[in-house]
């Protein structure tokens, strides 16, 4: 437990996730529907796939760290999307990413649910949970959970930047005013 007036690791992690969410909202608020599934090149990810993937990664990874169930599974999102319970987009082929389609309301409702669940989980992580070794991908060596928090933040930043770039590519100068 952090001393009064001090900042703990979980505080920093929550602030990073909040900052990432503000950037995500800025990049997606008012996004025209026709931009969701445009591809600038045949093997490019779409904005819609990026929204889903970054939300899945945040949900899955924060659930792993907190030893809780994923919202994707417990709240029926996998069924609503008609997708596998374990899918996250990691390892998807360009074709799989290109054919991904979800109705806008469903997509952004899941993004909001995944973010809220991740925020709750991260805020409650104990120092012991942050140190526990976890294998977040089968081919990876176990790492302390705090490294996975960095992974969540970096993945969100990277994919939100891609979303903003694609939106600018499609909408042109001035979309972010």
Angle at Cα 46 formed by Cα 40 and Cα 49, nearest 5°? 170
What is the per-residue pLDDT for 96? 93
pLDDT surpasses 60 at 1 = no
- Enter the pTM of the model: 0.92
Each domain of the chain, given as residue ranges in start order, spans 30-171
Structure tokens belonging to residue 176: 């972010």
Does residue 146 sit in helix, strand or coil?
A: helix
Cα separation of 61 and 129, whole Å? 13
Q: Are 116 and 7 in contact (CB under 8 A)?
A: no
Name the CATH superfamily housing domain 30-171. Answer: dinb family like domain (1.20.120.450)
139 secondary structure, DSSP code: T
Using the predicted structure, report yes or no on whether residue 102 has a pLDDT greater than 90: yes
């Amino acid at each position: 437990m952090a001393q009064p007036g001090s900042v703990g690791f979980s505080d920093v992690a929550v602030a990073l996730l909040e900052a990432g969410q503000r950037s995500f909202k800025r990049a997606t608020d008012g996004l025209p529907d026709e931009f969701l599934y445009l591809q600038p090149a045949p093997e490019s990810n779409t904005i819609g796939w990026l929204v889903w993937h970054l939300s899945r990664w945040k949900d899955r990874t924060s659930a792993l760290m907190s030893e809780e169930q994923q919202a994707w599974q417990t709240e029926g999102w996998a069924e609503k999307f008609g997708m596998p319970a374990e899918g996250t987009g990691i390892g998807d082929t360009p074709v799989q990413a290109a054919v991904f389609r979800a109705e806008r309301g469903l997509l952004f409702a899941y993004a909001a649910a995944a973010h809220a669940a991740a925020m709750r989980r991260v805020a409650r992580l104990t120092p012991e949970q942050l140190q526990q070794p976890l294998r977040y991908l089968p081919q990876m060596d176990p790492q302390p959970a705090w490294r996975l928090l960095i992974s969540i933040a970096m993945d969100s930043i990277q994919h939100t930047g891609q979303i903003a770039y694609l939106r600018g590519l499609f909408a042109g100068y001035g979309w972010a005013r």
